[in-house]
Amino acid sequence: MACEDLVRRADKDRYLAALFIPPFERRFVFALAAFNIEIARVREVISDAMPGEVRFQWWRDAIMGTARGDVHSHPVAGALLDCIVQCRLPRKALLDMIDARTFDLYDDPMPSLNALEGYCGETASALFQLSALCLAGGADPHSARCAGHAGVAYALTGLMRALPYHARRGQCYLPLDIMRHHGVDRDDVVNGKASDALAGVLLALRQQAEYHASEARRAIVDIHESVRAAFLPMALVPAYLRALERTASRPFTRLADVAQWRRQLALWQASRR
């Protein structure tokens, strides 16, 4: 229940998507989503990087069974460990998610599109694949290709939507190679300076997200229908990309949002396919 409540508050889209999953498997998906929230928000609750590194190490130790104290007293950690055992999840994938999130603790620039897609792959793609494993009862869901593309599309879209928030705290997830190609400086981004050049960067990233979303839709037809519900959040990507296009000229002042009823409708329609 604690995981479900956390996901409802902090990741409404994944919460709404999980409601289309049968209750028994849903609790595992909520545990994974809650874990993702816990490690994604570490930057928000620390004053400098070192306490964040300590928190991440606690999660590594918890996953590997070497943490001190009663780890199961932590509601999210306890649910995650139960999920790992019952769904036979690979612990390395969870550790890789933590390692990728280390980037969040610092203000280093994202060096390239390839590096950004790698970050998306080890975070969002891993979450899709692990959720698919839960729905497959720990058996191979044959969804790695779909998860790879879905995660990159979903994460790229989310990072563009979060651009104003990241800029205010001095972070820039936009890849340096694409920014340099368009003549955009990292300081322009963190200082909230909109320009035609920045609009070109965001257009390139939207096109990349659209490509991965298209590949994910192509790949999902080969996945057993009992596992496809793990990928329902992908149904929201097209609407968010359209919202990002509408706000492209003012990326720091307008939130690229979609009404909840439209999101619920998109999820319902996707669940019926």
> pLDDT tens for residues 147-201?
999 999 999 999 999 999 999 999 999 999 999 999 999 999 999 999 999 999 9
- Report in angstroms the alpha-carbon separations of 70 from 2, 37, 75, 240: 17, 21, 11, 41
Dihedral, 204, 205, 207, 209 alpha carbons, nearest 10: 170
Residue-averaged pLDDT of the chain: 95
Please answer whether residues 174 and 205 qualify as being in contact, where contact means their C-beta atoms are separated by less than 8 angstroms.
yes
Whether the full predicted model's pTM is greater than 0.85, yes or no, is: yes
Question: Burial level of 266, CB count in 10 A (0-12/13-18/19+)?
Answer: buried
Whether residue 255 has pLDDT greater than 80:
no
Say what the pLDDT of residue 85 is: 96
Structure tokens at 266: 């998109």
Range of weakest confidence among 173-182, 185-194, 221-230, 250-259 = 250-259
Say what the pLDDT of residue 264 is: 95
Please answer whether residues 119 and 101 qualify as being in contact, where contact means their C-beta atoms are separated by less than 8 angstroms.
no
CA count, 13 A, side-chain hemisphere, 251: 31
pLDDT digits (tens, 9 = 90+) for 115-156: 999 999 999 999 999 999 999 998 989 999 999 999 999 999
Range(s) of the domain holding residue 73 = 2-272
Question: Burial level of 269, CB count in 10 A (0-12/13-18/19+)?
Answer: exposed
- The tally of domains found in the chain comes to 1
87: domain CATH number is 1.10.600.10
Report the C-alpha gap between 41 and 20 in whole angstroms: 26
